[in-house]
Structure formats: C-alpha cells, structure tokens
C-alpha cells in the first residue's frame, strides 16, 4: 500500500513520537533504520528507496522529510560530536498525529513498532546499523554463509557472534513480514 506525502509525514511524526514515549534514543541513523525495518517488514510502504550507506540502509527521501519536519519546527535536529544528528520531538508533534486520518495505518505502524522493539533490543545506533544491513542483503536474496561473509566484509567492527545473532533476529522478523502482509 503506497502513501501520499502528507500521510507519510504524519506517519513519521507518529513513529518519532511513539519512540520518544518508549524512551528510545533518537538520531538520524536509528530513525533511518527503524523506518526501513517498518517498511520492509510490514505492508506499510512509505515510498522510500534505500541504498547501502556507511551505517547501513539510507534513504535520501527520508532524510529530506526529516529536514522538512525540522524546518517546520515539529522536530529539532542538532549535531552532537558523540552521537551524530540527535532528534528531539517537539510537544507540537502530538497535534499533527491526530491529523493522520487512517486509523488502521496508525494501528499497523504501532503494532509493527512494538514488535520491532521486542525483537531488536537494545535499540541504538550500533544495533540498528547491523540489523538494517542484514535485512538489506536478505531482501537482495543473499543468505547463509554468503550473507555472513558479505556483512563481515562490509562491517568488520561487528563480531561473528553479533552478525550471527542479527541474522537470527532478521530471519525471525521475516516471519512477521509474511504474516502482516497477509492480514
């Protein structure tokens, strides 16, 4: 299911606000990966295309949307030397969430986020980079030892154990992907 630009922005605000309530540290990398995971693991299509970037899957369109929300003073993006681009969700965001008229979309996004939070803890830049990268290659049809080798070559900072665990998490989430597409 595709989404128009307005609903896409309202969905992003909804996601950011929900993550804020769950006390998930927000920065551009985490948000990029979480929205990638939501798009790839559910029937919610934000219309973003992704390329593999330094920290995993990256969408220039999503980056532009985040910058737009910053410009509109719905979120505040500020650079921090230690964590990169930190995102603060402004209190005004809650008024925009009510404008997301598609209640089933809200419910689907919320249930997908809850599922991801349960499966992907801890949610931080490092874990999201690895999970996003693994899922990116799984979606390209790479699996098994080839998947492990590909991720290890591109992400040597991760141990074999971390990569193996990330692959297991992604494989278990792909079951969610299939069941949510059929609902």
100 pLDDT more than 90: no
Q: How confident is the model at residue 181 (pLDDT cuts 50, 70, 90)?
A: very low
**4-18, 20-34, 84-98: range with highest mean pLDDT:** 20-34
In 10 A of CB 121, how many CB atoms? 11
Give pLDDT, residue 108.
79
Q: Which residues contact 89 (CB under 8 A, 6 or more apart)?
A: 13, 16, 17, 20, 26, 74, 75
Give pLDDT, residue 3.
66
SS3 for 148? helix
For the chain, give every domain's residue range. 5-182
What pLDDT digit, counting tens, does each position of 43-67 carry? Answer: 788 999 999 999 999 999 999 999 9
Mean pLDDT of the region 169-181: 65
Q: Residue 76 forms beta bridges with which residues? A: 88
Q: In whole angstroms, what is the distance from residue 161 CA to residue 157 CA?
A: 12
78 pLDDT more than 60: yes
Q: Which residue is associated with the tokens 């630009």?
A: 5
């Amino acid at each position: 299911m595709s989404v128009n630009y307005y609903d896409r922005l309202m969905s992003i605000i909804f996601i950011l606000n929900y993550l804020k309530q769950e006390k998930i540290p927000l920065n551009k990398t985490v948000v990029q990966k979480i929205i990638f995971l939501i798009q790839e693991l559910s029937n919610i299509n934000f219309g973003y295309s992704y390329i593999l970037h330094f920290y995993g899957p990256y969408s220039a369109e999503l980056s532009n949307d985040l910058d737009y929300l910053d410009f509109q003073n719905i979120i505040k993006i500020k650079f921090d030397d230690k964590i990169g681009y930190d995102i603060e969700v402004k209190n005004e965001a809650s008024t925009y969430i009510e404008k997301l008229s598609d209640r089933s979309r809200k419910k689907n996004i919320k249930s997908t986020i809850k599922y991801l939070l349960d499966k992907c803890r801890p949610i931080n830049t490092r874990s999201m980079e690895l999970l996003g990268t693994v899922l990116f290659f799984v979606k390209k049809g790479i699996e098994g030892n080839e998947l492990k080798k590909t991720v290890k070559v591109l992400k040597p900072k991760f141990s074999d154990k971390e990569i193996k665990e990330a692959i297991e998490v992604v494989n278990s989430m792909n079951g969610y992907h299939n069941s949510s597409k059929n609902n």
